[in-house]
Amino acid sequence: MSRPLAQQLARVARDHTSGAAQLALESARAVEQWLERHPSPSEAELEDVVLKLLRLQCSMAPILRLANEVALAADGPHCARALAMRLRAFIRSLERARGCIARHFTAALGKSPGLTAATYSFSSTVIGSFTAARARVASVLVAESRPALEGRLTARRLAEARIPVQYTTDTGLLGLLHSASVFAVGADAVLSHSFVNKIGTRTACLAAREAGVPVFLLSDATKFLPEELAAPFWRPSEGPTALVWTGAPRGIVLRCPLFEHTELVHVRVITESGVLDPSEVRRAVESVRVSPRLKRLAD
């Protein structure tokens, strides 16, 4: 693998703040640039790219889906041309999805102005949807989202978009959710019956349901991950314990889980295609074609 591609993907691997869609887009563009520099890659080189992608943030479905696209291209003839076409389609899908989701989300909010929305963690898709619906969203409740504090980036981006922000602690959000009209989150992966997002998402979703606040999951289709693809690659991961407690005394075991599953129960899933019910989500997830090569490389 060329050094520029390795460096670009290394930056993605170190980024635990940006959303899954943004990191997948950066990775796809990096692979596309690599293909432009190496227009006739060998099968071994393509497999090397697949393996490198698989070593990135494996909880993020779009990156796994990108690895699958590279593997599918390598499975057939004219792999360079096939890869170029698949990369263009993948990038185009990511680029247009945010705008489509924002339009569907705005429509779902209805016409009542002055709504208070709430969110957790960071999602460029969610921020784009709030920005598009700013005429109806009066303010957004944002939790700090420990341990990595992605909520600060969310609050900053919303403030830059001139959307009033109420920033609070994670437990503070739970106590304030009753004042919200809608709770919206993004996802790192959407499975058949649940979705994966940063730790704390499930508790926030349950609190929103208890408060009678509608829960929206805003996700593009590249995050749909079939079980056969998720099982070999998705593993619960933990971050650096320094995020929890720097200089902790001896005898204390620090844990820093980063992701968790949240059931798709009473959750309205909005994709670029519109609002999907649980059965439609399940069918869409199960329709994703998985490369046999990807399964072999995972062993």
C-alpha–C-alpha distance, residues 161 and 102, integer Å? 15
Could you tell me the pTM of the whole model? 0.88
Same-domain status, 158 and 206:
yes
Strand pairing report for 189-190 and 194-198: antiparallel
Where residue 15 falls among pLDDT bands split at 50, 70, 90?
confident
Query: Rounded mean pLDDT of 232-254?
Result: 86
Which structural domain range is residue 153 located in? 98-286
Distances (CA, A) of 116 to 19, 62, 113, 213: 23, 30, 9, 11
CATH of the domain at 123: 3.40.50.10470
Same-domain status, 61 and 207:
no
HSE-up (13 A, CA, CB side) for residue 52: 23
Same-domain status, 137 and 148:
yes
Same-domain status, 242 and 177:
yes
Where residue 76 falls among pLDDT bands split at 50, 70, 90?
confident
pLDDT at residue number 47? 92
What is the per-residue pLDDT across 100-118, written as a single tens digit (0 to 9) for each?
Answer: 999 999 999 998 899 999 9
Same-domain status, 92 and 102:
no
Same-domain status, 104 and 52:
no
pLDDT at residue number 234? 62
Same-domain status, 80 and 112:
no
pLDDT at residue number 86? 95
% of the chain beyond a pLDDT of 70: 96
**Count of domains in the chain?**
2
Same-domain status, 143 and 240:
yes
Strand pairing report for 215-218 and 182-185: parallel
Same-domain status, 90 and 155:
no
pLDDT at residue number 108? 96
Where residue 58 falls among pLDDT bands split at 50, 70, 90?
low
Same-domain status, 86 and 163:
no
CATH of the domain at 80: 1.20.120.420
Same-domain status, 66 and 206:
no
Three-state SS annotation for 11-67: HHHHCCCCCHHHHHHHHHHHHHHHHHHCCCCCHHHHHHHHHHHHCCCCCCHHHHHHH
Same-domain status, 146 and 19:
no
